[in-house]
Structure 1
Amino acid sequence: MDVPIKATPKQFYDVFCNKTHYVSNVCPDKVKSVVLQEGNWGTEGSIISWTYAF
């Protein structure tokens, strides 16, 4: 499935690696929430819970 996006490759990568809390805003029909459980956004070792529909 191809999905058009309005972002540069760098911006797309940045959202998924450093700003994962934005993912539920970008595709709310698939990703219901992204919650930081422990640590800091965008840092190695952080624990993040994803709630999604498929």
Structure 2
Amino acid sequence: VLTGALVGGPSGRDSYKDVRSDYQSNEVAMDYNAGFTGALAGLVHLLPDAAAQ
């Protein structure tokens, strides 16, 4: 179990089932999480003293 990761999300018809065996809808991938990674990198760059605490 991976806690805190973003999954693929709803289908084209805006339906989503949280079923672990449905890997196509519930897969975790880097492109889903890239926005958060980029935002965190920006914050660390802009606020280096806050990242050290």
Indicate the TM-score class for this superposition, using the shorter chain for normalisation. Answer: under 0.3
Which of the pair has more CA radius of gyration?
Answer: 2
Question: Which is richer in strand?
Answer: 1
TM-score, length basis structure 2: 0.25
Q: TM-score, normalised by structure 1?
A: 0.25
Q: Quick check: which one's helix share is greater? A: 2
